[in-house]
Amino acid sequence: MVRLNEDFLKIKQSYLFVEVAHRVAAYSAAHPQADIIRLGIGDVTLPLGSAVVQALSKAALEMGEQKTFRGYGPEQGYDFLRSAIAAYYQKHGVSLETDEIFVSDGAKSDTGNITDIFSQDNIALISDPTYPVYADTNLMCGRTIRYADANEENGFLPLPDAQTEGDLIYICSPNNPTGAAYTKEQLALWVSWARQHGAVILFDAAYEAFIREDGIPHSIFEIEGAKECAIEFCSLSKTAGFTGTRCGYTIVPKALVVKSSTGEEMSPNRMWNRRQCTKFNGTSYIIQRGAEAAFTEQGMREARANIAYYMENAKTIGDTLAKKQIRFFGGVNSPYIWMKCPGGMDSWAFFDELLNRAQVVGTPGAGFGKNGQNYFRLTSFGTHEATAEAMARFDRLF
């Protein structure tokens, strides 16, 4: 008789946002007139820039002409996009060869799929709180997880210490959900630890485009030695509003080499290539043309304007919390604001209170891990008007 993957039994049944949606739907059904403001889910709201839209349209038309029609493309992505990504990295002083860049349909797939190339025996080290995908994808393949506490004492930026244990070190900076971002010096400590312990850092740079401050790396590869111990994931989702358009990329440096149990040198770059060629047939040509346009001067200008708009919301939220003397993290190099629930309240209780009394929806910190128990995530992806209205209600309530 067939047996299913029983590791799935270890995963919490209700995904965080499903429970949030469920509670909001119940409230909405009971109060049909309520003007609910959603500062919860981390999705962009502003439309794609015109450079991207033009490129998408042009590529769609090409697909309808015999001369320019394209079928299957390279699994790793078209050279025109891989070169554009390499040029983007060069702006931060990181030199990449195009065959170290793998284009995909987004960072969620890649951060989940990367588990394929690592042995099940590895221990994954994941910060708590965390973007849930890192934990769930490791649980799905039966891997042991250790959690690194991210809390107020370490500014939600855990660093390696004598107790640190792990082979796959997940780092997300700027962080979802806490908005905290590692400095260059702090990341260098992780790189040095990983090299000493033969670990691999899986670095998620999905929010790098929100970095405002100097000294915060946009890429782990800005740190010397990182190419020998790290893989990086990034995405156009938050950089250029591609959450519904879908395009991401993963950097697997060729300098990263790991010895097998019999002493043979293995290349994660070659393995990821093999994995992608086997299980993935490439990102759509049309989307890759749109992504290429996002990296042009006009594309970047338009993307930056949207990010600036969101960051004004982050400031509106931060100013209100500061006025109310509520402790918070993030909102400076990140679209996320991680606030302490007033009066030491539990995060789901605060969720219900905010929904019931202010009709504002956020995300309970407990959904991201035990250290999120008394915290709450607000996002800056709403309109200026809705964010200002939510904060006015907040101001009256607390």
CB of 1 to ligand PLP, least distance (A): 36
CB 384 within 8 A of CB 316: yes
Interface with ligand PLP includes 378 (CB under 6 A)? no
Interface with ligand PLP includes 335 (CB under 6 A)? no
The rounded distance, in Å, linking the Cα atoms of 292 and 311 is: 24
Between 143 and 377, whose beta carbon lies closer to ligand PLP?
377
CB of 30 to ligand PLP, least distance (A): 29
Interface with ligand PLP includes 131 (CB under 6 A)? yes
CB of 259 to ligand PLP, least distance (A): 30
CB of 161 to ligand PLP, least distance (A): 24
Name which position in 20, 24, 42, 220 contacts ligand PLP (CB under 6 A). Answer: 42
Between 111 and 288, whose beta carbon lies closer to ligand PLP?
111
Compute CA distances 13 → 110, 136, 283, 369, whole Å: 22, 11, 30, 15
Name which position in 49, 77, 106, 342 contacts ligand PLP (CB under 6 A). Answer: 106
CB 113 within 8 A of CB 277: no
Give the DSSP letter string of 30-90. Answer: H-TT---EE--S----SPPPHHHHHHHHHHHHHHTSTTT---S--TT--HHHHHHHHHHHH
CB of 371 to ligand PLP, least distance (A): 17
What's the start-to-end Cα distance of the chain, in Å?
58
CB of 125 to ligand PLP, least distance (A): 16
Return the range that interacts with ligand PLP (CB under 6 A); candidates 107-115, 118-126, 144-152, 250-258.
107-115
Q: Which of 87, 70, 116 has its CA nearest to residue 283?
A: 70
Return the range that interacts with ligand PLP (CB under 6 A); candidates 5-13, 103-111, 208-216, 303-311.
103-111
| Binding string, residues 235-274; x marks residues near ligand PLP by CB under 6 A | x-x-----x----x--------------------------
Between 111 and 359, whose beta carbon lies closer to ligand PLP?
111
Closest-approach residue to ligand PLP (CB) = 106
Return the range that interacts with ligand PLP (CB under 6 A); candidates 6-14, 50-58, 100-108, 276-284.
100-108
The rounded distance, in Å, linking the Cα atoms of 329 and 374 is: 13
| Binding string, residues 185-214; x marks residues near ligand PLP by CB under 6 A | -------------------x-x--------
Q: 365: burial class by Cβ within 10 Å (0-12, 13-18, 19+)?
A: buried
CB of 353 to ligand PLP, least distance (A): 25
Between 183 and 243, whose beta carbon lies closer to ligand PLP?
243
CB 243 within 8 A of CB 44: yes
The rounded distance, in Å, linking the Cα atoms of 174 and 332 is: 10
Return the range that interacts with ligand PLP (CB under 6 A); candidates 2-10, 106-114, 143-151, 378-386.
106-114
Give the DSSP letter string of 100-121. Answer: GEEEES-HHHHHHHGGGGS-TT
Q: Cis link prior to 253 (omega < 30° from 0)?
A: no
Q: Which of 229, 380, 213, 232 has its CA nearest to residue 306?
A: 380
CB of 238 to ligand PLP, least distance (A): 7
CB of 242 to ligand PLP, least distance (A): 7
Between 24 and 44, whose beta carbon lies closer to ligand PLP?
44
Instruction: Enumerate residues 6+ apart whose C-beta is below 8 A from 314.
Output: 330, 331, 332, 334, 335, 337, 380
Q: How many residues sit in the footprint of ligand PLP (CB under 6 A)?
A: 14
CB atoms within 10 A of CB 385: 9
Binding site for ligand PLP (CB under 6 A): 42, 106-108, 111, 131, 172, 176, 204, 206, 235, 237, 243, 248
